[in-house]
């Protein structure tokens, strides 16, 4: 079996999986809520499915957006004592979900003007690249939670209007 025949087999299997996922709508109503937004796919066909799959499909699993953000590991840990206040990144988290959200945040910088404006505001405040991406991911998780909770479609203007107005 030559290398070209192995590649042909892999290409055929990938095409079969894509057709299967396209017809079955692997996440059902979850992807319908998000509509046909390209930024959830972030250049990889299954990145959005991975994010939604890691969160699970039980609508009552997370009481609020804060619980979803904490599970994802995007919510910061704030420790305050007296006059000192320290904000740290969350260490205990679902790593697969955190990686998918990091990629989603990075890809949304190109596909979403609102996410780009928010990222630029953070960078202008001398926040590092990774910390700014984590905050964009945190905001995206909050937006996703709102869309799933209210069963409304994602709208770029509604989600980012206050950040875009501040950037202007």
In the chain, how many domains are there?
A: 1
* 56 vs 61: CA distance, rounded Å: 8
**Residue 14 within a domain:** no
* 96 vs 119: CA distance, rounded Å: 23
Task: Identify the pLDDT of residue 54.
Answer: 82
Distances (CA, A) of 95 to 15, 66, 84: 28, 18, 30
**Residue 126 within a domain:** yes
**Residue 161 within a domain:** yes
pLDDT tens-digit map of 84-129: 888 777 777 788 888 888 888 888 888 888 899 999 999 999 999 9
pLDDT tens-digit map of 3-62: 556 667 767 776 776 666 654 444 444 555 555 444 454 555 566 677 877 887 777 888
* 75 vs 57: CA distance, rounded Å: 21
pLDDT tens-digit map of 140-154: 888 888 888 887 877
**Residue 4 within a domain:** no
Q: Is 136 exposed, middle or buried (0-12, 13-18, 19+ CB in 10 A)?
A: buried
**Residue 7 within a domain:** no
**Residue 47 within a domain:** yes
pLDDT tens-digit map of 112-123: 888 999 999 999
**Residue 24 within a domain:** no
Task: Identify the pLDDT of residue 5.
Answer: 64
Task: Identify the pLDDT of residue 87.
Answer: 77
Task: Identify the pLDDT of residue 25.
Answer: 44
**Residue 115 within a domain:** yes
Range of the domain at 40: 29-167
What phi and psi, each to the nearest 5 degrees, are found at residue 85? -140, 125
């Amino acid at each position: 079996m030559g290398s070209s025949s192995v590649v042909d087999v892999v290409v055929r299997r990938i095409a079969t999986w894509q057709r299967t996922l396209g017809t079955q709508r692997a996440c059902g109503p979850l992807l319908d809520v998000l509509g046909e937004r390209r930024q959830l796919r972030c250049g990889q066909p299954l990145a959005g499915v991975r994010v939604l799959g890691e969160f699970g499909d039980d609508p009552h699993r997370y009481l609020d957006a804060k619980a979803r953000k904490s599970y994802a590991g995007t919510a910061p840990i704030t420790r305050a004592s007296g006059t000192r206040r320290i904000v740290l990144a969350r260490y205990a988290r679902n790593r697969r979900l955190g990686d998918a959200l990091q990629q989603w945040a990075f890809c949304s910088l190109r596909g979403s003007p609102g996410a780009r404006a928010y990222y630029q505001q953070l960078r202008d405040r001398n926040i590092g690249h990774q910390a700014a991406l984590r905050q964009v991911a945190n905001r995206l998780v909050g937006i996703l939670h709102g869309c799933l909770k209210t069963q409304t479609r994602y709208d770029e203007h509604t989600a980012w209007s206050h950040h875009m107005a501040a950037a202007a």
